[in-house]
Amino acid sequence: MLNKLATRLLSATPEGLSRSFRRVGWLGFWLQIVLGSVSVLLWIGLLAGAARLAAEEPFKLLDLPGAGADAQTLDYASLPTVSGQLAVVRAARRDPASADRQDYDLHHLKFQLHSYLARHGGRFWCIWSEGPPIEDEPTQEVRFATSTDGLHWSESGSVTGVPEAPYAYIARGLWVWNDQLLALTAHFKGKGAFGADKELQLVAWVWDDGAQRWQFKQKLYDNAINNFPPQRLASGDWMLTRRDARFNVSVLIGGRESLEDWTSHPVVAVAAVPGFRPDEPVFWQLPDRRLLALLRDNGGSGRLFQASSNDEGRTWSTPRATNFPNATSKLFSLATSRGYRVLVSNAHPQVGRRELHVALAGDQQRFTRLARLDVPTPPVVDDAERIWRKFHSGIASLQYPHVIEHDGRLLITLSRNKKQIELLHVPLDALDALLAGRNPP
C-alpha cells in the first residue's frame, strides 16, 4: 500500500495534488506525503543494500574444476547429469471443490508440499502437507505413507486430521527421539504461518504402533516453525533451526530429556543485513565441532548466504553472501557414509525450480562438483491426464527436497508443481564417480 502511495505522490500533477488535498484535508494530505516519503526511503535502502551485496566478495562455497568460483559464468548446459529411479509417493489429485469440472488445471489440484523422509521400524516413512489448492490455507493437514522398499508406497493416512478453519498444519519433519517416531508439525491460524496473530506453535505427534495411528504428543515451542528435524550435536544436545512468525532466524538447542527443554539463540534478524531476507536455513557440524549454516535469500540476490558458529550454536557470525547460486528455494544437505557431503537444491536461478541439482563437498565445506539431477517424467495418473504436459521433465517445478541414505542409495523426496509427492533413488556409486571426475554411470 505504501509503495503505491509513494508512486502516486511522485507522479502526481499539481491538479492531482489539489484534488487530493480537497478530498483528505491538510492532515490527510501531509500524512500521505510522509508515508510516501518513508516508502521511497525504504526502496532506496533495499536498492542500496542489494548494491552493497553485489559489490562484496562472496564467500567461496562453490569451486568447480574449470569454472572456479565464478558462479556467474557457470555453463549449466555443460553440467553432468545424475540419473535415478522415480517413485510416486502421493499422486496428484483434484480438489473436491473442482471434482465436476471438465476444464480443470493445476490450480484445481490439491496442494502437496513439504515432504520429509525417515527410516524406522524396518520401513520408510514420508510425511507432507496437503490441503486446498492454495498453499498453507486453513484446513491444510499433514499426511503420511509408508514403504518397505521406497518404491511402492501405501495408501496415505492423516497424521493431524483436518483442522477446523481458520487453523492449518505444515509438515516439519520426522524425528526418531528416544526410540519414538515423532512427526513434527507447525500449527497456525489464518492464511500462511507468517504475519500478525498467527498463534504459531511447533508440535509433535508420536506413532502408536499398537493402535497403528498417530497420537498428539505435545507442544515443543511457541512462535516457532522449523525447517528440518533436529540434529544431534557432539555435545549430546539436539539442535534445530527456528523461524518466528516475522521470519527472524534462530536455533533451538536442548531436547535431551524433555521435548519442552529448549533454549533459543539468535542467528539473524529479518532486516539485520541490508539487502538480505533470510529464510529456510540448514546447518551441519564439522569434525572440529564448528557449525556451518546456509540460508535461502528472499532479497533477490540469487545466492545462498552462509553463517558459522564456534560455540555449538550459541552465537553466530553475520551471514554473508556466497557464490553458490540458488533459485530462491529450499535446500537440504547431508553427510554421506562415504565421507563426502551432498547439497540438493535448485541451483539455476534463470530456470527457477524447473531443475534440481546435487553438489558434492569432499571436505564437508566447499563444493567442488555440481550436477543436474535427471528427474524422469512420472507416469500419468488417471484424472490428471488432461494436464500431464505440465508434469513433464524440464517443464514442471521440482522443489523442497529432503534426503536420507539407505543401502547404497540416496532417497530424495520432492514435490512436483506443489501437487505431487515423489521420491528419486540415486545410487551413491554415481556420485562417487562424479566426485572422482568421471561421468556418472
Q: What is the pLDDT of residues 230-252, one digit of tens each?
A: 999 999 999 999 999 999 999 99
Write out the chain in H/E/C secondary structure. CHHHHHHHHHHCCHHHHHHHHHHHHHHHHHHHHHHHHHHHHHHHHHHHHHHHHHHCCCECCECECCCECCHHHCCHHHCCEEECEEEEEECCCECHHHCCCCCCCHHHECEEEEEEEEEECCEEEEEEEEECCCCCCCCCEEEEEEECCCCCCCCCEECCCCCCCCEEEEEEEEEEECCEEEEEEEEEECCCCCCCCCCCEEEEEEEECCCCEEEEEEEEEECCECCCCCEECCCCCEEEEEECCCCCEEEEEECCCCCCCEEEEEEECCCCCCCCCEEEEEEEECCCCCEEEEEEECCCCCEEEEEEECCCCCCCCCCEEEEEECCCCCCEEEECCCCCEEEEECCCHHHCCCCEEEEEECCCCCECEEEEEECCCCCCCHHHHHHHHHHCCCCCCEEEEEEEEECCEEEEEEEECCCEEEEEEEEHHHHHHHHCCCCCC
Domains and CATH numbers, the chain: 2-55 (no CATH), 71-435 (2.120.10.10)
Is this structure's pTM higher than 0.85? yes
What's the mean pLDDT in 221-238?
A: 97
Confidence of residue 52 (pLDDT cuts 50, 70, 90): low
> Is the model's pLDDT at 26 over the cut of 80?
no
pLDDT over 90 (residue 29): no
Percent of the chain whose predicted confidence (pLDDT) is above 70: 87
**pLDDT exceeds 80 at position 150:** yes
pLDDT of 18 strictly over 60: no
pLDDT for the residue numbered 68: 67
Statement: residue 20 has pLDDT above 70: no
Q: Band the pLDDT of 177: cuts 50, 70, 90.
A: very high
User: What number is the average pLDDT over the span 308-322?
Assistant: 98
Is the model's pLDDT at 157 over the cut of 60? yes
